[in-house]
Amino acid sequence: MNEERIGVRRVEDQAWLVEIRGEHDLATAPMLAEQFDALFRADDPLVIADITETTFLDSHVVRVFESAAQRAAADPRVRFALDVEQSHFRRMLDVFRPMTGDIPTYPSVETALEALRRF
């Protein structure tokens, strides 16, 4: 996995933060899906995907986010959210929403972490 484009670190010992930087498409979607799968198998799978440093996402990556959100909805111990500070990604996700369903989005990592703790 390209450490410069997909980084993973703990946040406040309570969640995993997946920092997604640069351009992501069909070529990197499988790596991202594998990373989410590995984190969802952890003992405390609170996962936040931070796309604030992302410059491009295609529909393959949105499908990875959709799959992560569906897994979280189906498994009560898994929690997933997106940090979508950048407005153009919020608009893109709104356009995809009829096809993908609800992918939980928040304006910051802190807001996402607070929301995931309440579940």
Domain boundaries, the chain: 6-117
Please check the confidence at residue 56 and state whether its pLDDT lies above 60. yes
Report pLDDT for 4: 66
User: Which of 3-7, 23-27, 40-44 is predicted most confidently?
Assistant: 23-27
What kind of architecture, by CATH, is found in domain 6-117?
2-Layer Sandwich (3.30)
> What's the pTM?
0.89
Q: Could you tell me the strand order of the sheet in which 15-24 lies?
A: 6-11, 15-24, 46-57, 79-83, 105-106
pLDDT tens digit sequence for 28-52: 999 999 999 999 998 878 999 999 9
The alpha carbon of 50 is separated from its chain's Cα centroid by a whole number of angstroms, namely 6
Please check the confidence at residue 2 and state whether its pLDDT lies above 60. no
